[in-house]
Structure 1
């Protein structure tokens, strides 16, 4: 079991460590201490579902439905561009301060819906989980253990990122720090959007 669990864990961790739209969102929520548990849990559950689907063999969807990848790529690029633009406007306007959860923040419903859009409108999520993890899992004798390792790495990472972000709270007591964070988020979203259009 461990001979399949560990490679699954390491593969998932290596894929998720790269800064991306989902990670940037979790980081921001963590710094704000806003709906952190539910954001981390949602990320863990969605990754678990996608990884399970990939290991179960649904990676063939992109091959079976030729237009799927293109539709996801352009839809995801448009969404990430808009989200990045909103972050850029926030960075330019400034004035943000660190406030406790629930004060001038988004509702839990809106936060989760935004997170789900960031997750499922990003084609890289499908390539990483359905295609890459799914295809690599076929090389291991215990695919269930491989999937368990990949799912564990994802869940651990998101909870560490979400709750570890609060260590940065003193830094984000200053409005200029929020402008920098929003600017970095905007650049990240735009870079991913451009990569989707060019790739």
Structure 2
């Protein structure tokens, strides 16, 4: 009977974690835009998805083990992350804007240039760990998980499941959209949209930080 109750509590917590995770993660933010572009270019997408998934897994469970307490103990950490995120987002917005406004020939060369796996993975790590919204999501997950008491790891597992679902949707979506991007104009539009998203996120963070 106890095992049945424990299993039921775990599944309930898992479902709540999955729903919460989808609500938090399923947004077209900095990380999502980066993954979509890499997927469309067919550049190291599996490794990027694996890296992002591992980061989410580590920090989702770490949020239960004390990430929230750490940030409460060192509030300056939140501000440092915020301003590092602003700089990172503005830099990527500038790079995307330059690609969007460049000539077709330059765009074609940029599409054919294959960045190293190391550079792609470092960018994936940056879009996760230098994104203040990522840390806010982790704090929220950690806070909500503790309300499930002994089933809190079920909540964390559900949130991680939501992360994997969203990452796979981004990867599959990029593959399905790839034929549309044989036209250089489509790349211009994509990079223009990414530049606006990144700049908008940076401005929003600046408003919060001042």
TM-score using structure 1 length: 0.94
Unaligned runs of at least 5 residues, structure 1 = none
| 1:100-136 per-position Cα deviation (integer Å, ceiling 9, x unaligned) | 9xx412111100011111111111100101x100001
Taking the aligned partners of 1:139 and 1:94, their CA distance within structure 2 comes to 54
Contact conserved, 1:97 with 1:173, CA < 8 A, in 2? no
Hey, what does 1:83 align to over in structure 2? Answer: 92
Hey, what does 1:92 align to over in structure 2? Answer: 101
Query: Deviating runs (4+, > 3 A) in structure 1?
Result: 97-100
Within 5 Å, give how 1:80-159 maps onto structure 2.
Answer: 80-95=89-104, 96-97=107-108, 103-129=112-138, 131-141=139-149, 142-159=151-168
Instruction: Give the direction of change, closer, same or farther, for the CA distance of 1:99–1:196 in structure 2 (3 Å limit).
Output: closer
Hey, what does 2:194 align to over in structure 1? Answer: 185
Unaligned runs of at least 5 residues, structure 2 = 1-9
Instruction: Give the direction of change, closer, same or farther, for the CA distance of 1:112–1:94 in structure 2 (3 Å limit).
Output: farther
Contact conserved, 1:94 with 1:178, CA < 8 A, in 2? no
Higher Cα Rg: structure 1 or 2?
2
Mapped pair 1:29 → 2:22: no
* SS of match in other structure, 1:138: helix
TM-score using structure 2 length: 0.89
* SS of match in other structure, 2:147: coil
Contact conserved, 1:137 with 1:147, CA < 8 A, in 2? yes
* SS of match in other structure, 2:171: helix
